[in-house]
Structure 1
């Protein structure tokens, strides 16, 4: 048995831990680019609180609030330009997965010249970034616990991860209290994203004992608590468990990688700018149905965690789980047409080939097209 496990992130977890933001950031720098979204952290008052916490610790802050739900390479470039021009020496990301991914990318671009796509596709290598502090406000992506930054190139629709140890956060402050303001539809979408991370990391060909343990525990937490927080978002005890599961899922895929559903979803949201968790919901049951034969023991574990019997009904129980949180969707409902399939399949093989190969069943180009057509 041979494996490596590397996670140089200070994970600071618990209700009220947001109050450590200024202290933790001041360890990294004295002038912060605060990366956030266009509205949610402003509406909740979190952005103002964060700026005050930074100020108290002597950290000057400049706000970059241009990030959308599927962050663009051009947006990250603009943020990096602002950081460099202002002389920022630390990047703080406050928001959901898109915000955290953008913050990581901005910190990287600020230290690595040229087109970010060159680094994403491995044609150039960067080994440093500005120090990063992350504060997730959605319980789903787990970006606070890995070295991924998923970006979409607006020129060609490529949605692919920048992956480098340079963008591990110095500290991630994970405060479940910040999650309770999420709308119900967001809870469902990001929660299923978290579940998908652990399911895919568990069955991944790159899985290993530590990621298996994390994935199993995370799946159990979500099976028992995601419906609770969907029904009653004020249930802080359940939110703590969902939030922990999200962070664990991010740690899992940081080592074991993602697999079929993420491989096929990235072209969908790259093309149509759909909500990532909804895209996964449309694809995952079909992918499980075509994959369970190739890892029956692990799919049986997943099925039983979600209330099923064995690997053969895993797809069925996932569909039932999605119904319980009103996330039963199709690609067609998100604007995908059968005419889009050829482009998406070609793009999948271009941007997601590693994840395709990571799936228990390595789908061929024609099989990927069949899956897309079936999910429309």
Structure 2
């Protein structure tokens, strides 16, 4: 295995620089711009050191800038509206997003709105299509999102529980630098890597969009997570573990861009739409094992292909659905994951609202479900997670 090598690649519409020295390439991509808006959450961009590095490079390139630090986890559409207004009013000709999925997704939508007009909800409900966009650079500082290499963004519609995901745009340039992950807390280290795991598990088991390419990158992703996540949890300063988890997350982003997520992400979006304090990867982990029981029944060959990385006994037959569930449950338990929905205020009475969301506003999120999702199945998955 190559150790900590810097490299670059082009995928979709994005030029990605990867590795511990990758940020040096930012200089060549900001030269010629006049004014940048840097998008962050409240503190992680500062704590990681990424904001300081970006500012130094902007100063060197004589690019003026301002910082928009109002993005929260599970961001609202109104935050994208506010950011788009700031981009427009400042005359910024460049947007730089430093953060995880919440920050980069918000910047994706806002960079389109600032040039194409409209409100975030116009794009979330597909009433408006992207026509123009302000150039966007993404500096990813988690190893779960995949948004630095995919075209999707997720925002929650204000005043509702609707957490909507849409294809909107690729960043023009992205950076994955493992040194910015060394301050990622232990719980977020676990949650974000579980996000990457479920990205590939769903991508491989999608109803129609799976492919040999998706299988290949997904198998590599699971192998890397299995090897390196325990090491990162044991020592969050292990930069080699961070490097390979970052790489796994990037591959997982490509997997869902080429395929799709389905029921695990759909149900989680309903959950964190109701309670935005539920971390996305945590929600996936809570419902993922029981979801795998039903997914394996529907797509046993594809499910077994990935889960054999965790448990060689798994077979590509429907009779192994319970073992698929227990394989994921034990994998997560061994990593120290024992969260429950009840920890976030959920109870059985919330199941009806989750079903309502999934079969109405969020139905499009499980178009690629390999199984015929029913209210009974959703309630069973929720009950197991309480």
Given the alignment of the two structures, is residue 9 of structure 1 paired with residue 9 of structure 2, yes or no?
no
Deviation at 1:308, TM superposition (A): 4.1
> In structure 1, what is the Cα distance between the partners aligned to 2:360 and 2:239?
42
- Structure 1 runs (4+) greater than 3 angstroms displaced: none
Q: Which moved more, 1:123-132 or 1:99-108?
A: 123-132
Deviation at 1:347, TM superposition (A): 1.1
1:354 corresponds, among 349, 364, 375, to: 364
Given the alignment of the two structures, is residue 227 of structure 1 paired with residue 237 of structure 2, yes or no?
no
Deviation at 1:317, TM superposition (A): 1.5
Please name the residue that 2:311 is paired with: 307
Is contact 2:205-2:295 (8 Å) kept?
A: no
Please name the residue that 1:374 is paired with: 384
Output the TM-score relative to the length of structure 1.
0.94
Given the alignment of the two structures, is residue 96 of structure 1 paired with residue 100 of structure 2, yes or no?
yes
2:354 corresponds, among 331, 336, 344, to: 344
> In structure 2, what is the Cα distance between the partners aligned to 1:351 and 1:230?
37
Q: Which moved more, 1:90-99 or 1:349-358?
A: 349-358
Structure 1 residues not aligned, in runs of 5+: none
> In structure 2, what is the Cα distance between the partners aligned to 1:342 and 1:305?
35
- CA deviation string 1:176-205 (max 9, x = no partner): 111111110010000100111011111112
> In structure 1, what is the Cα distance between the partners aligned to 2:155 and 2:240?
33
Given the alignment of the two structures, is residue 327 of structure 1 paired with residue 337 of structure 2, yes or no?
yes
2:80 corresponds, among 76, 89, 92, to: 76
Please name the residue that 2:3 is paired with: none
Is contact 2:76-2:158 (8 Å) kept?
A: yes
Is contact 2:95-2:111 (8 Å) kept?
A: yes
Q: Which moved more, 1:273-282 or 1:231-240?
A: 231-240
Q: Which moved more, 1:168-177 or 1:322-331?
A: 322-331
Output the TM-score relative to the length of structure 2.
0.91
Deviation at 1:40, TM superposition (A): 1.8
> In structure 2, what is the Cα distance between the partners aligned to 1:230 and 1:333?
22
Given the alignment of the two structures, is residue 253 of structure 1 paired with residue 256 of structure 2, yes or no?
yes
Which aligned pairs between 1:108-187 and structure 2 lie closer than 5 A?
Answer: 108-164=112-168, 167-187=169-189
Please name the residue that 2:46 is paired with: 42
> In structure 2, what is the Cα distance between the partners aligned to 1:26 and 1:346?
49
Q: Which moved more, 1:73-82 or 1:43-52?
A: 43-52
Deviation at 1:339, TM superposition (A): 1.8
1:31 corresponds, among 5, 15, 35, to: 35
- CA deviation string 1:112-158 (max 9, x = no partner): 32232121122222232111100111111111010111101121121
Please name the residue that 1:86 is paired with: 90
Tell me the secondary structure at the aligned position of residue 141 of structure 1: coil
> In structure 1, what is the Cα distance between the partners aligned to 2:17 and 2:118?
34
Please name the residue that 1:196 is paired with: 198
Please name the residue that 2:294 is paired with: 290
Please name the residue that 1:55 is paired with: 59
Q: Which moved more, 1:141-150 or 1:225-234?
A: 225-234
Deviation at 1:222, TM superposition (A): 0.8
